[in-house]
Amino acid sequence: MADRFIIDGATYNGDGTTSAEATVAGGVGAWNTINYTNPTTYPPAYGTLPTGTTVYIRSKTAAGADITVTLGANITIGLAGATEAAPVIWVLDNGVVWPWIDGALTYLASNTDWYCTIAANNVFAAMTKSALVFNKAKTTASYNTYVVLNNGTLKNALIDNSARTTASDGYVCAVSSSRVYDSCTFKLGAFSTISYPAFIAVQSGHNTAVLLNCDIELTSSAVVTRTGLFGFASYKDVGITMIGGRIFGVGSTAGNALANFGNATESAQFIRLIGVQYPAPPLLKVNISETPTQPFSVEMFGTDGNGTTGGHIENLQGFATSRTDNNPPARQALMPDGNDTAWAWRIWIPRASKMRPWIQAFTKSYSGTSAALVLELELLVSTVATPDKSTCWIDISYIDAATSAAMSVSTKSYAPDALTASGVTDWSAEEWGIIAFTKAKMSVTTPTTVKQNTIVTMTLSMTCGNVNANAVYFVDPDFTVL
């Protein structure tokens, strides 16, 4: 498919087929209006814009100024007829097509509640980071959506909502179907005041949003309860995955929440953060219903503020985190951070129950000679927690050496026998602040031999929910194989 070109403000409107200015209206040359990014202006006065086309936009006007589109109403940008098989790709050039021209294109909502919707199956990409700008300049708004994104990709854009200094309703970016933000920058002001929306929200069911290498700066230190940076309103089977990038700014440590999971009727909402620079608590929390009954999940890996390999898991039952401070106890598990930093999972599960257990898996590759194995998990149990062998157990899954069949063995008991006391002496501490612990272990022997060079999985299950804030556990994930 032949490329198309736009030079906003050129004297003559060409047929869009070359990067040069047209010498007569309708002649060979670039289109002369940025309005052709708005599908309500189609078909173009001259030429065509087929699906599957790449459209290059000169990043300054013909007169050499940056381009600003001031919204006079809600607008849609992109070709409405684009398809997944033949998307339209809009590229804001930085001097490759037009040498020495490296400017910016801004869609400005100046003191208005108007917003942009990007049509499905369109890709908008700036060749210079943050040169494509969506700027909401109003300090307050009754409904503050600014960018609504459909299936496609937005690359190197700046979504600027930092003018919002007073908390108000609504969200800044809404995803109405699967969408990728690639290397975008978000500058976000005051949080929403109502319970379900957030800054970045998935706005329809059975969809996900992906934020790839994005920076999110929270510019307001105001704290707002019952909302979050990410949200899902009343939609089910929805999620947000953020890979790389960072969350930072004064609002990231003010006490606002990472996520809001709506009310008790919602189900299957998730957030995943992988390799994101993420501040220490108090941002590390989620908002959920006061009486939650439906599943949600938060999974983080490599999300310590310094970019190391800390993790956090949270769901309806409670949470497990390695992101602790104040010198938490640890044992033999070591982070691959070059310093062999010892770490353990801190687990708090206030809503775990017999019908809703906390389940967490640990794995090891077994490379030794095929043999029956003894596997042991060490943990510290708060003195105010009350687990026993019927409410806290491990299951082992492995491959049988003789038959290659999947095998399992469990420590689960249906009698409330006490956990086995542990005699290990290598925990770094047996208290954490005011919380005192006892040492316990769970041990199991495989009934058959374990196949060499296979994975052994240990699954920890806990139904011993306790709302006491001090009813915590420290678990060493580096389980022993004997």
Give 203-249 as a DSSP string.
-SSS-EEEEES-EEEE------SS-EEEE-TT-SSEEEEEES-EEES
Same domain, residue pair 343 and 363: no
Same domain, residue pair 38 and 156: yes
Q: How far apart are CA 215 and CA 226, in angstroms?
A: 24
Instruction: Determine whether 258 is exposed, middle or buried from the number of CB atoms within 10 Å of its CB (0-12, 13-18, 19+).
Output: buried
**Per-residue CA distances from 124 to 17, 30, 89, 311 (Å):** 19, 19, 6, 33
Let me know if residue 140 belongs to a domain.
yes
Residue 107 scores a pLDDT above 50 = yes
Same domain, residue pair 305 and 363: no
Residues present in the chain in total = 482
Residue 294 scores a pLDDT above 70 = no
- What number is the average pLDDT over the span 428-435? 95
Same domain, residue pair 52 and 146: yes
In DSSP terms, 361 is beta-bridged to 459
DSSP code of 390?
T
Instruction: Determine whether 297 is exposed, middle or buried from the number of CB atoms within 10 Å of its CB (0-12, 13-18, 19+).
Output: middle
Same domain, residue pair 342 and 362: no
Same domain, residue pair 333 and 259: yes
Same domain, residue pair 398 and 458: yes
Report helix, strand or coil for 36: helix
Let me know if residue 322 belongs to a domain.
yes
% the chain with pLDDT above 90: 56
Kindly state the tokens that stand for 52: 């599957």
**343 close to 334: Cβ distance less than 8 angstroms:** yes
Same domain, residue pair 244 and 376: no
Q: Which of 296, 325, 348 is the last residue of a domain?
A: 348
pLDDT of residue 441: 97
Question: Which range, of 22-31, 203-212, 383-392, averages the lowest pLDDT?
Answer: 203-212
pLDDT of residue 101: 97
Q: How far apart are CA 330 and CA 477, in angstroms?
A: 10
Let me know if residue 313 belongs to a domain.
yes
Q: How far apart are CA 154 and CA 132, in angstroms?
A: 9
φ and ψ of 165, to 5 deg: -100, -10
pTM score, two decimals?
A: 0.87
Neighbours of 443 (CB within 10 A): 16
In 3D space, the residue among 131, 119, 133, 229 whose CA is nearest the CA of residue 176 turns out to be 119
Residue 374 scores a pLDDT above 90 = yes
Report helix, strand or coil for 59: coil
Same domain, residue pair 364 and 339: no
Q: How far apart are CA 21 and CA 3, in angstroms?
A: 15
Q: How far apart are CA 118 and CA 76, in angstroms?
A: 6
Q: Which of 297, 316, 348 is the last residue of a domain?
A: 348
Residue 128 scores a pLDDT above 80 = yes
Q: Which range of residues forms the domain containing residue 285?
A: 4-348
Residue 234: which pLDDT band, with cuts at 50, 70 and 90? Answer: low
Q: How far apart are CA 91 and CA 144, in angstroms?
A: 27
Same domain, residue pair 450 and 340: no
Question: Which range, of 209-218, 219-228, 258-267, 345-354, averages the lowest pLDDT?
Answer: 258-267
Let me know if residue 391 belongs to a domain.
yes
- What number is the average pLDDT over the span 46-52? 93
Kindly state the tokens that stand for 300: 């983080």
Residue 256: which pLDDT band, with cuts at 50, 70 and 90? Answer: confident
Let me know if residue 19 belongs to a domain.
yes
Q: Which of 330, 348, 366 is the last residue of a domain?
A: 348
Tell me the pLDDT tens digit for each residue of 4-15.
999 999 999 999
Q: How many domains does the chain have?
A: 2
Residue 169: which pLDDT band, with cuts at 50, 70 and 90? Answer: low
Same domain, residue pair 411 and 383: yes
More confident residue, 324 or 274: 274
Q: What average pLDDT does the structure give for the chain?
A: 87
Same domain, residue pair 282 and 378: no
Let me know if residue 201 belongs to a domain.
yes
Let me know if residue 127 belongs to a domain.
yes
In DSSP terms, 209 is beta-bridged to 179, 240
**264 close to 289: Cβ distance less than 8 angstroms:** yes
Let me know if residue 353 belongs to a domain.
no
